[in-house]
Amino acid sequence: MQAENSSKDGGEPPAGNRFQALKKFSSAGRGYWHDVSDADWNDWRWQLKHRITTAKQLQKFIPTLTPEEYAGAKLANTKLALAITPYFFNLIDPADENCPIRLQVIPKLAETHTASWEMSDPCGEDSHSPVPGLVHRYPDRVLFLVTDRCAAYCRYCTRSRLVSNATGYDFHPEFDKQIAYIAAHPEIRDVLLSGGDPLLLSDDKLENLLSRLRAIPHVEFLRIGSRIPTFLPQRITPELCAMLKKFHPLFLSIHSNHPRELTTEVRDALGRLADAGIPLGNQTVLLKHVNDDAEVMKAHLQKLLMCRVKPYYIYQCDLISGSAHLRASVRTGLAIMEKLRGHTTGYAVPTYVIDAPGGGGKVPVSPEYVLSHNADRVVIRNFEGKIFEYPEAADGRPCGRPPERIEESQLV
């Protein structure tokens, strides 16, 4: 079944309308599951139980499945499991083998090819883990991996070594050890829960975990990283939101990559989270044929604002093994950023970052706006390419000549 916002005749909308078509909110629809009751369809546990997990199911639901995809799906469980919720599956265009949704969740044989520069742990997380399931890479914050399960699996996942347990990583988060480490390190003021997807934990289990973290006096700030709002918006229940709002300040970073992921169901789910006072950010991974196009990216970012989500990061795709076929170039990423800054609302412009290979942390990369900078002045260009000079400041005050020639009496 095709998403309702796709062109009905399978063709591209006229060029001038493409941007508006990308920004339209539509329901994912029911597709093959049209006879399922509303109660089941809107039940997140039903969605999880009925995920597409095998090559055979894929072939049944997508008759145009390519040999490359079929082979990828057969081999998926040796690398990163295949799982797609029925809800998210409905966003796939079965007539388009380059459908941006399809590319993100349907495996391809190319995943089994590892380039010499690719790694199983490209961000060096394991080498920065003082206890299993906790990554202490930055001075004042930690990444707390609470599960290895996700609602669906992204084929470019930077943690594919551990999520879904396809490669036998043997992930057993021991919350007691992780919490004891955080409690013993007063410099940790910020805890990011991730995984896997923390929102797959039951409300009770998540509440217990958040309560234990909130009881540590030096933990000022809690964050959850989750792809659930886009893979499984049914999970964002009023009960979950009511529970989360007890732990403010608590922020939530969602993960979405393409404007078609932002359906009416997702917008409603994000609205429930926002109404619970949870500040929302979005993380996007720059992916070839998915969002490596300035118009698609801009539509996505503007649509996020309409969902009350601040675009936070665009990530250059990590050097995870088997992801070369999905990786867009840094050149493309910079060209997209150039078409965002100044061309749309500043709130819609995220920071483009490369996670430095091997564990160097996030490094922001940006088109060059400072053309030269010396003791006297800064030469800058704006988004239209116009050049300007700004006098460098002396003692914090702008001046029009070299600071050393300024007498105190001349300063106003």
Q: Point out the residues that are catalytic.
A: 137-138, 141, 150, 154, 157, 159, 318, 355, 362
Shortest Å distance, C-beta 242 to ligand SF4 = 24
Q: Which is nearer to ligand SF4, 196 or 281 (CB)?
A: 196
Shortest Å distance, C-beta 287 to ligand SF4 = 11
Shortest Å distance, C-beta 181 to ligand SF4 = 22
Angle at 185 between CA 176 and CA 361, to 5 degrees: 100
DSSP string, 143-201: EEE--S--SS--TT-TTTTTGGGTT-------HHHHHHHHHT-TT--EEEEESS-GGGS
| Cα dist from 252 to 135, 244, 306, whole Å | 18, 10, 17
Distance CA 192, CA 209 (A): 12
Distance CA 256, CA 311 (A): 10
Q: Which is nearer to ligand SF4, 99 or 154 (CB)?
A: 154
Q: Which is nearer to ligand SF4, 170 or 395 (CB)?
A: 170
Distance CA 402, CA 349 (A): 35
Run of H or E residues at 284: strand 280-286
Residues near ligand SF4 (CB under 6 A) are 150, 153-154, 157, 159, 163, 195-197, 227, 255
Sign (positive or negative) of CA dihedral 64, 68, 74, 77: negative
Sign (positive or negative) of CA dihedral 257, 231, 167, 175: positive
Instruction: Give residue 363's Cα distance to chain centre.
Output: 16
Q: Are 84 and 152 in contact (CB under 8 A)?
A: yes
Shortest Å distance, C-beta 192 to ligand SF4 = 13
DSSP 409: G
Q: Which is nearer to ligand SF4, 153 or 313 (CB)?
A: 153
Q: Which is nearer to ligand SF4, 157 or 286 (CB)?
A: 157
